[in-house]
Amino acid sequence: MSGLASIFSAVIKRDLRLVARRMSEMAHPVLFFIIVVSLFPFGVGSDPLQLAKIGSGIIWVGALLATLLALEGLFRSDYDDGSLEQIILSGQPLTVLVLAKVFVHWCATGLPLIVVTPLLGVFLDLDGQVLIALLASLALGTPTLSLIGAVGIALTVSIKRSGLLLTLLVLPLYIPVLIFGAGVAVAAQAGLPTAGHFYLLGAMSVLSLVLAPIAAAAALRISVS
């Protein structure tokens, strides 16, 4: 176990250094998220009641698209410079290495989205209770998006210009997370219990945490071979 922990931490430190060197590139999903959410009021109107009603859905759609935009950076640079092949041939448990890379990816993309959400929530006139429920759903849901996306990018990492194929593979699997994630805030806004939505989000998070690293590791071996 200590050996796995040291491998996990070593991959995290390596990828965090790479993220620090590409900080401007990592900022693109967050800027995209802010732009998407900010443009919605121009299209649907600036009525505070209407914005509050659909605000949680807007934020969740923006977070989903921003996560999808950032998936290319998960394994692509390692594949291009050959380090991904060395990681696979290292003899270390590939599922642990994949999980560490997904964790760093979430820290670089999902976590900043959660940090800026309160400001966008105020912009969309969401009240405090709804905003807290929305933040909690994002904290549960965005890691699931990164884990599911890891399987998709692992399958397409060896294909050039695979953005459309990646979207077609991943987007249907994102829909349940989007439905129940946005449903948490909708239920909180209507004064209904939110426990059921959280249970389902938690179940999807645990299931993806267990299965996605295994599937992504197998897909990477197929793609690189």
Residue 77's region, left for phi above 0, alpha for psi from -120 to 50, else beta, is alpha
* Per-domain boundaries in the chain: 2-224
Task: At 121, list the tokens.
Answer: 């929530």
Q: What is the pLDDT of residues 19-53, one digit of tens each?
A: 878 777 778 889 999 998 888 888 777 777 888 78
Q: Tens digits of per-residue pLDDT, 87-127?
A: 787 777 888 888 988 999 899 888 999 999 999 888 888 88
CA angle at residue 26 from 14 to 183, to 5 degrees?
A: 110
Give, as one character, the DSSP assignment of residue 92. Answer: S
Rounded distance between C-alpha atoms, residue 108 and residue 144, angstroms: 15
Can you give the pLDDT at residue 89? Answer: 79
Q: At 155, list the tokens.
A: 């399958």
Are 27 and 35 contacting, i.e. CB atoms less than 8 angstroms apart? no
Residue-level pLDDT at 148: 93
Distance in angstroms (rounded) separating the CA atoms of residues 98 and 148: 12
Please state, rounded to an integer, the average pLDDT across all residues of the chain.
85
Specify the pLDDT at position 214: 93
Q: pLDDT value at position 193? A: 86
Residue 92: exposed, middle, or buried by beta-carbon count in 10 A (0-12, 13-18, 19+)?
middle
Q: What number is the average pLDDT over the span 193-221?
A: 91
- Nearest 5°: the CA angle 131, 100, 16 is 80
Please report which confidence band the pLDDT of residue 2 belongs to, taking 50, 70 and 90 as the band edges: low
How many angstroms from the chain centroid is the CA of residue 11?
Answer: 19
Contact 59, 117 (CB under 8 A): yes
